[in-house]
Structure 1
Amino acid sequence: MGRPALNRQPNTLLAHWLVRSGLSNVGLARAVAQLARAQGHRQVSPDESRVRRWLAGETPREPLPELIASVLAERVGLPLTGPDLGFPGSRTIRVDRPDLPWNAAGTVEAIALLTRSELMLPHTRNGEDATRIHHGEHLLTPLGLWISAKGTVTGQPHTGARGRHIGMTEVNGLRELTRMFRDSDNRLGGMLSRKAVIAQMADATAMLDNCAYTERVGRHLFAAVADLGSVAGWMSFDSGLHTSAQKVFIAALHAASEGEDQALGAHILQCMARQMSHLGHIDDALDLVHLAQYGARRQASPATISMLAALEARFHALLGAFDESERAAGRAEEAFTRINPAEEPTHMEFFDLAELCSTLGVVHQISAKGDTSTRRSDRAEKSLSLLNQALAERPAHRVRSQAFDHLGLARTHLVVGELAGARQESAAAVKLFGAVNSTRVADRLIELHDEAGPFSASSETNELREEIRQAVSPTSYAKCEAPRREQAHRH
């Protein structure tokens, strides 16, 4: 009922899905036998010992792979095939779904497949791409396993199948490259360097798969690949490649898990939360922040705590929960006072006073827009104060962030009908947009254009809207205008 395999390895994919299904070995054997009889395969009658052999690496004969897949698919509520369960086929890992196995081998294979396909992917600004991302329970349920996942990295001794030994020198070199790519993203946007980062990620994953290293070096290398993946995912998001970004973020989260770096995992989850918010999935964004907060509760630095609380405040405000938003903003400000920059991880270097002020300034802008009480003007004034402080504190090279600050100011001015201020800040944002390649900035400009619509009787507003039309290419505008209108309406 099975074929022996040379150099047989345990089937970790089958084990993963068996755990997800809640079935025991006996339960799987019985369910497969029952389905086989129902389909007319009278000769197929596996028992518990046969399931143990499959888990140990034995490949079952046809039609068993698809029977097993059908049983497990029904239990977990997801489509599965034989290759998804580690049985021979064209592909072992499905990188187009969020439910990757939480183990080192599966993570390496997923990143290798992903980077090979990514290097062939052309740059696009196809708005339909955003409709294909995973969201809701289909995304959050598998990612929730991050909390309990344990690293499975072991040392890889030198053998005929593995090449040179690597150590912390190579890991530190990869970290320095990640810092360089992150700086390029801040200065120029994600489009220019995205494929270079994907290629570097592929090379780093090849080291995991082909080189010899100790367990300690392996964990650090997985964490370094995860951090590089967070940059690659962010650049893809900034380029408007949303499904690509989500796949890279998920693979990077698995790599962070193998590196046993929960704080880095929280950083990747907050990147995903920002993407979900950008696409209008605010409930999912808030859930991702809560997942990050809980999962990294023992490792989170003050900067991480402050950043996650600030994002929580933003998403509560978008959902109209203004009291919850204010409490989260207070936690963000309190945690920020405890930051010692020398003790923060490198991936948190971006979260400085300017970033806190900008995030909370947008929180107050959103609250002002949604608040019809007498507090509206106070919220708007607080927003303007914080966003102006963010601009004053921004390092000169954070060009894209400066554009977002000006856009935040313009939108706050619109909330209270200060059209001259909105026009001035919009012009500054458009000028900076010319210096960066960022679909996210284009999306925000289009949102501002739509929000200015009710003030079209004003010549200043018409100039604002026309300048945005000229700045954003007609093709991009046509693709993004309708989705952004719908999102603005939801907010």
Structure 2
Amino acid sequence: MGRQPKQPNRQLADLVTEVRLSRKGLARRVVERGAAVGVELAYDHTAVGRWLGGEQPNPPVPELIAEVLTEVAGRRVTTADCGMVAGQASADIGLEFSLSIAEATAAATALWRSDVERRRFLVGASYAVAVYPAASMRWLTMPGPEHPVSGQGFRRIGQTDVDAVRTMTAAFRDLDNRVGGGKVRATIVQYLHSSVAPLLQSSYPEPIGRQLFATAAELTKLAGWAAYDLEEHGLAQRYLIQALRMSRAAGDAGLGAEILAAMSHQATYVGRPGDAVDLARAAQIAARTAGLAVLESECHMVEAHGHAARSDGSMCATSLNAAERAYDRADHARPPWLDYFDAAYLSAKTAHCFRDLGDTARTAQFAELSLDMSGGYTRGRAFNLCLLASARADEDPHEAVRIGREALALAAGLESRRSLAYLREVRHRLAPHADIPDVAEFRHRVLEVATRAD
């Protein structure tokens, strides 16, 4: 419950009268503005009545009210003008691709700090549909190159400081693959806040600055990926946008392509395949700039998955063929953050495409190939086993259960909501065979695990 002043809010009442906005209209606009930045609200005219009576809503609602009245009044309206107290952070923190490096640094560090503090508007933030297209457009149109400038700190940092962040990033990346995003995300964010933020605000020469922004971008991307793995989609968006901005400050087109591909991956997952295709195509432009054929292959693959999710088999096939051609001309040199993309991963993404197109035979074929994967990718193996089990469910439910049990055993060591989503899909595919004892037992175990996690 917010703070309850003794007097009615005359300032807010005067503003509402000035702009000729009904209580119902103000409530609707605040709810819509919240949805645009991933904050779910449920206000109506009675809530506005309480605000006019002097009730102070919890952050970030005062900022949202001020933004709505700014738009309607055609002039700048602050929270103070509304007779309200501003929170320490705006509801749209992290959702904008900043125009300057200084603004980018401030936005990223503010996001890390707010996340460490578990600010209320970040917890459970929903996916905001407009922000990825805006960020990718700014990525494509922003002039360059940029020149990272030193912060105002007295400390002078160098190569050893950047190398330390790289070492930590590699360790976090390995842990994420082995145990899932839920077990590492909070630690990554704390490290960004307590160790990386002070480095960005220190003094450094430009070559060190570029490396620092690249490593910070990579780790920020990993924090976003971990949030995505937990299905905290609004939070993941904010991290991926800030990672993309820092990769631009670093002048690292390849890393930018990888982050855009991650955005595309998430867009398909949340049911925005059209956006996924657009993001994948932006990623391809960046990958060609970087001159990395294997990265270009990945970007064609995420486009193919977007087309498959739209049930467009023809365009999916075109993108799959482009991905294979790019992969065939790739050499072995690649950045460490791209080590996961190999023939097995290519097969797994192809299996996803055929799954979404309803082709169970080819889903099974490529899911089988995807199991010939490197060690250390526990979560990925659980995903691939679930893909295969789902594809086998109708043809051989006993075999699907055997494969599903292997996936379930791996998932037991993970904290990954996406893993549970894959297991639920296997359970759903086995529903027609629920009268078979081992199928019934497996479906019950999946339900128990999923319920316990929820």
Determine the structure 2 residue equivalent to 1:389: 369
1:125-136 map, 5 Å: 129=124, 132-135=126-129
Q: Point out where structure 1 has 5 or more consecutive residues left out of the alignment.
A: 1-37, 40-65, 84-88, 370-378, 477-491
Change (3 A) 1:175 1:434: same
Deviation at 1:146, TM superposition (A): 0.9
Determine the structure 1 residue equivalent to 2:134: 141
Determine the structure 2 residue equivalent to 1:288: 279
Change (3 A) 1:106 1:313: same
Determine the structure 2 residue equivalent to 1:412: 391
Q: What does the per-residue CA deviation read over 1:119-138, in whole Å, with 9 as the maximum and x for residues that have no partner? A: 13399xx9xx37x2111x34
Q: What does the per-residue CA deviation read over 1:170-229, in whole Å, with 9 as the maximum and x for residues that have no partner? A: 2222112111110111111112221221122222122112x1111222122111110011
1:146-225 map, 5 Å: 146-149=139-142, 150=144, 152-156=146-150, 161-202=152-193, 203-209=195-201, 211-225=202-216
CA–CA separation in structure 2 for the residues paired with 1:146 and 1:235? 23
CA–CA separation in structure 1 for the residues paired with 2:392 and 2:214? 43
CA–CA separation in structure 1 for the residues paired with 2:370 and 2:76? 48
Q: Which amino acid aligns with 1:311?
A: V
Q: Alpha carbon RMSD of aligned pairs, Å?
A: 3.1
Which of 411, 415, 426 aligns to 2:404? It is 426
Determine the structure 2 residue equivalent to 1:351: 341
CA–CA separation in structure 2 for the residues paired with 1:99 and 1:387? 38
Q: Which amino acid aligns with 2:424?
A: I
Give the count of matched residue pairs. 384
Change (3 A) 1:189 1:70: closer
SS of the residue corresponding to residue 307 of structure 1 reads helix
Determine the structure 1 residue equivalent to 2:421: 443
1:225-374 map, 5 Å: 225-342=216-333, 344-367=334-357, 369=358
Change (3 A) 1:432 1:472: same
Determine the structure 2 residue equivalent to 1:17: none
Which of 345, 360, 368 aligns to 1:380? It is 360
Q: Point out where structure 2 has 5 or more consecutive residues left out of the alignment.
A: 1-17, 20-63, 80-85
Indicate conservation of the 8 Å contact 1:230/1:268, yes or no: yes
Q: Which amino acid aligns with 1:105?
A: A
Change (3 A) 1:82 1:226: farther
SS of the residue corresponding to residue 350 of structure 1 reads coil
CA–CA separation in structure 2 for the residues paired with 1:122 and 1:407? 35
SS of the residue corresponding to residue 325 of structure 1 reads helix
Indicate conservation of the 8 Å contact 1:410/1:426, yes or no: yes
Which of 468, 471, 478 aligns to 2:449? It is 471
Are residues 1:109 and 2:106 paired?
Answer: yes
Deviation at 1:100, TM superposition (A): 3.7
CA–CA separation in structure 2 for the residues paired with 1:166 and 1:471? 47
Deviation at 1:385, TM superposition (A): 2.6
Q: Which amino acid aligns with 1:347?
A: W
Indicate conservation of the 8 Å contact 2:385/2:404, yes or no: yes
Deviation at 1:446, TM superposition (A): 1.8
CA–CA separation in structure 2 for the residues paired with 1:460 and 1:303? 42
Change (3 A) 1:80 1:251: farther
Q: What does the per-residue CA deviation read over 1:133-182, in whole Å, with 9 as the maximum and x for residues that have no partner? A: 111x344124311112235434438xxx5222112222222112111110
Q: Which amino acid aligns with 2:118?
A: L
Q: What does the per-residue CA deviation read over 1:228-276, in whole Å, with 9 as the maximum and x for residues that have no partner? A: 1111111111123222211111111111111111211111122222222
Determine the structure 1 residue equivalent to 2:377: 398
Deviation at 1:438, TM superposition (A): 0.9
Change (3 A) 1:70 1:190: closer
TM-score (norm 1): 0.71
TM-score (norm 2): 0.77
| More moved, 325-334 vs 442-451 | 442-451
Q: Which amino acid aligns with 1:170?
A: D
Change (3 A) 1:218 1:72: farther
CA–CA separation in structure 2 for the residues paired with 1:189 and 1:69? 38
Indicate conservation of the 8 Å contact 1:93/1:100, yes or no: no
Change (3 A) 1:180 1:450: same
Change (3 A) 1:398 1:200: same
1:14-53 map, 5 Å: none
Indicate conservation of the 8 Å contact 1:151/1:259, yes or no: no
Indicate conservation of the 8 Å contact 2:268/2:305, yes or no: no
Q: Which amino acid aligns with 2:127?
A: I
CA–CA separation in structure 2 for the residues paired with 1:470 and 1:71? 48
Change (3 A) 1:283 1:75: farther
Indicate the percent of aligned positions where both proteins have the same amino acid: 24
Q: Which amino acid aligns with 2:361?
A: E
Q: Which amino acid aligns with 1:247?
A: R
Change (3 A) 1:133 1:212: same
Deviation at 1:97, TM superposition (A): 5.8
Determine the structure 1 residue equivalent to 2:95: 98
SS of the residue corresponding to residue 397 of structure 1 reads coil
